[in-house]
Amino acid sequence: MGDSTEKDNKLLKRFEATELVLHWANAVPFVTLLCTGGLIIAYRFLHYNASLFNVLRTVHKTTGIIWPLALAGAFIFFGPRLNFRNLRQIFSLGVEDIKWMIIAFRSLYHPELQPPPAAKFNTGQKINSILVVVYAVLFPASGLVMWFYGTILISWYFHAALFFMAATSVGGHLYLSFLNPSTRVGLGGIFHGWVPDYYIVHHHSLTLPQTEQEETQKAHALGGSFMKIEIIILVLTFVLGFTGLKIFNAARRASLARGFDALIAPNDLSKAHQIKAIDKCDKCHALTGEIKDDKCLKCHNIIQQRKEGAIGYHGKNKGPCRKCHKEHPGLVGNIIKLDREKFDHNLADFKLEGKHREVKCDKCHRRWSNGQDQGFYIGIKHDVCTDCHKDPHRSELGDKCTTCHSVAGWKGKDLKFDHDRDSKFRLEGKHRTLKCVDCHQPRPKDAALATALFKNLRYDQCGDCHNKVPHKAEIPGDKCKTCHNMNSWKGKDVLFDHDRDSKYKLEGKHRTLKCTECHQPRPKGAALATALFKSLKFDKCDDCHKVNHKAEIPGEKCKTCHNMNSWKGKDLLFEHDRDSKFKLEGKHKSVKCVECHQPRPKGAALDTALFKSLKHELCRDCHKDPHRSELGDKCKSCHTMNGWKGKDLIFEHDRDSKYKLEGKHKNVKCVDCHQPRPKDAALATAQFKNLKHDNCKDCHKDPHRGALGASCTYCHNYLTWEKKKN
C-alpha cells in the first residue's frame, strides 16, 4: 500500500497494558544481557580495558538476577489471566501451524505464495515466544551453574550456544520490527498497543469479526515475503545455536589463533598456566564439571610427591586441588588465594614458631618473576636458616644458627648462646659486664653486632683484644695476668705485689706513696698504665728523687743519712758527731741545722744548703767575727762551745792578757774598759787586743788636768784612788 492508503486506515487495539509491561520487563534486561555478554566474549580476543571488562561482568551478573525476577513479577502481578491465556495460545501448536511452516518453507522458492490466515500469534511469533520462554529458563539456570559451579564445563558451552541462538533470533526480531516494510508498521503496537487495521488484516485476520474476515482476501495480495524472512531467522537461530560455535571457532583460529576455549573462559588462565600443554579446556575439565586431581598432579610432580609422602600442607590436606586453587583469575591474578586468618601453617612442612608468627606471609612467599611480583609456596627452601635469612656472619659460623639463636628472637634475652658453655673463652670478672660489641666489634662501626668476628676472634693474649696496652712495649702481652685479674685492672684487684713481683721492695714511706708518684703517666694526667714500670730506673735514690745536694753528695750515698721511713727529723740516720768531721759540742748541739746549713735561697728546703763542702775549720767560717779580726783566729783562747760569754768564757784577764786586774780593777765590768761600738752594742764589738793601757789616763780621765804629770801611781794605788799612806 502507498502512504495515502496507510493514512486512511483506522487503528485497532493489538496489545493490552499488561502485555506491554510483560514485553518490556523481558526485552530491556534481555537485550542488556545480550549486549554485555557479547562484549564479554569480545574481551576474550580483543583484551580491551580490564576495568571496563570488570564493569561489564558486574552489569551482566546483576541484570541476570533482575531479568527472571522482573519477568516473573510482570507475569504474575500484571494481568496474569491474560498472560496465561496468551501462553496457552503460544504453546498450542497444531495442524494450522504445520501448514504455516510448510508454506513458509515453500515461500523460499515461491514468493507469490500467500500466508494462511493467523490469529493473535502466527506460527513464527509462537516459535519466537517459545524461544523467549526457553531463554528465560535456560539462561538463568546455566548462569547459576556457571556462577556457583564454574568447573562444570558443559554449562559454559550451553550458555555460549544459547547466546548465539538468542543473538540470531533477537536480531531477526529487531529486523522485522524496525526494517521489514510489511511488519514495521506494527512497531507502535508494542509501545502503546494500537496498530493500523490493514496490519491486522494482513497478519492476524482471524482476530477480526467474522464479517470482516472476508476482507482478508484483499490483504493476501500483499504476498507472503515476511514468512520467508521469519523462516530464515528461525533456521539461522538453530543453525548458529548448534553449529555456529564451530564456525566461529574456525574463524577465530584463522584470525586470532584462539578458539572456543577462549570464548567460554570466565577469565584468562593465570600466567603460570599460559603454556602449550594447556591448550584446551578439557585438559583440566570434564564436561560434567569434575576436575580430577590426577590432571593437576600430572604436571605438578612435586605436589604429587608431597601427597604420596604426606609431607607438608599438601600431603596432609585431603581435599581436591580446586578447593584452594581457583583458576581463571586473569593474567595478573593469582590462583593461590588463602585465608590468612584461618590458614593453619602448622599443617605445612614448616611450623611457625616464635618470631615467625609475626612475619607477614608476603615476606616469605613472594618473589619476582619476569618482572612481576608473584607469590609462591611450594619449593621454598627452609632446611637451614640461610635459605631465608642473609647470613650476617659471612659464613664464619657455618649453618649452626640454632646453637646460638632461637625462633623466639635472635638477640638479647632470647639468645641461646652461653659464652661459658659454648665458647672457648669463659667470661669472668669484668668480662661479664661488657657489652658484646665491646669485644665483637661490628664491621663497619655502628653496623649490626652480627657483622663482627666471633669464631675467628683472637683471644690467646690480653693484647689480642686490649690492643691498646699502654705498657705493651716493655711488658709482653702474655704477662698481663702477672699483675691483673679479670675483676679489675687497678686498685685492690691488682694482683701485683711490689715486694714479691718487683726487684724493688717498698719500705717505709714508699708504702704510702701512690703508684703515680713513682710511675708517672705520660703525658701528665693520663692513665697510670702509660707510665714506665719494668724499665723504670731505681738503682739510686736520685733516679726517682730530686736531690738538691747531688753535686756534693753522690746519689748512692743517700742511705748514709736517710732511710725510707722519712728523710728528716727523728728518722734521719745522719749522726753529726759520727758521720761528719765536725762534732757538735756545747751550744752547737742545740743549734738547728738550717742555722749552719742555710738553704738557698732563704726559706727553701734544707737539702738546698751546703753540707759536705761547708767550711768549718775556723769559727768565723760560720760565725761573724764581732772583734773585726782584731783577735785573729784564736777564738778558742777565750770562748768554748758551751757559751761565748759569762761563766762559759775561758778568758782569764791576769793570765791571758798583758794587763793584770788588781785592786779596784777586779770589780770593774768589762764594758767599762772595753766599750762596745756603738754604745749599747754587744761587748764583742769593743777593742780588746789593741786597747791602750800603758798610762792611767788611757782609761781614766785626769782630774788634775795634767798638772801632776803622768805618774798617777805616785799618789794612787789600785785599791783606791785616795792618796797613799806612808
Give me the amino acid identity at 578: R
Any idea which residue has 509462537 for its cell?
A: 126
> Is 606 in contact with 593 (CB distance < 8 Å)?
yes
| pLDDT beyond 50 at 256 | no
End-to-end CA distance of the chain: 224
| pLDDT beyond 90 at 62 | yes
pLDDT band at 637 (very low <50, low <70, confident <90, very high): confident
Average pLDDT over residues 383-409: 86
pLDDT band at 251 (very low <50, low <70, confident <90, very high): very low
Instruction: Provide the whole-model pTM.
Output: 0.46
Which of the given ranges, 202-211, 273-282, 587-596, has the highest pLDDT on average? 587-596
Long-range contacts of 62-65 (CB under 8 A, 24+ apart): 63/29, 63/32, 63/33, 63/36, 64/33, 64/139, 64/140, 64/143
**Out of 1.10.1060.10, 1.20.950.20, 3.40.50.150, 3.30.360.10, which CATH number does the structure's domain 13-264 have?**
1.20.950.20
| pLDDT beyond 70 at 600 | yes
Distance from C-alpha of 605 to C-alpha of 300, rounded to nearest angstrom: 103
| pLDDT beyond 80 at 211 | no
> Is 715 in contact with 697 (CB distance < 8 Å)?
no
- The residue with greater pLDDT, 713 or 258, is 713
Residue 127 C-alpha cell reads as 516459535
Distance from C-alpha of 410 to C-alpha of 417, rounded to nearest angstrom: 10
Give me the amino acid identity at 395: S
Residue 453 C-alpha cell reads as 668476628
| pLDDT beyond 50 at 4 | no
pLDDT at residue number 1? 34
- The residue with greater pLDDT, 595 or 178, is 595
pLDDT at residue number 284? 82
Q: Which residues pair with 409 in a beta bridge?
A: 406
- The residue with greater pLDDT, 240 or 253, is 240
Angstrom CA distances, 603 to 294, 335, 465, 594, 607, stand at: 115, 104, 53, 10, 11
pLDDT at residue number 119? 79
What letter would DSSP give residue 111?
T
Per-domain residue ranges for the chain? 13-264, 274-359, 541-616
Average pLDDT over residues 180-207: 79
Using alpha carbons, select from 280, 284, 311 the residue that is nearest to residue 297: 284
pLDDT at residue number 243? 58
pLDDT band at 254 (very low <50, low <70, confident <90, very high): very low
Average pLDDT of the chain is: 80
What tens digit of pLDDT does each residue of 264-305 get?
A: 666 778 877 887 778 777 778 776 767 888 888 888 888 888
What letter would DSSP give residue 325?
B
Share of the chain above pLDDT 70, in %: 85
pLDDT at residue number 213? 56
The DSSP string of 563-579 is -SS-SSGGG----HHHH
- The residue with greater pLDDT, 126 or 243, is 126
pLDDT band at 246 (very low <50, low <70, confident <90, very high): low
Asked, as a colleague might, if the bond just before 678 is cis with ω within 30 of 0, I would say: yes
Average pLDDT over residues 176-188: 76
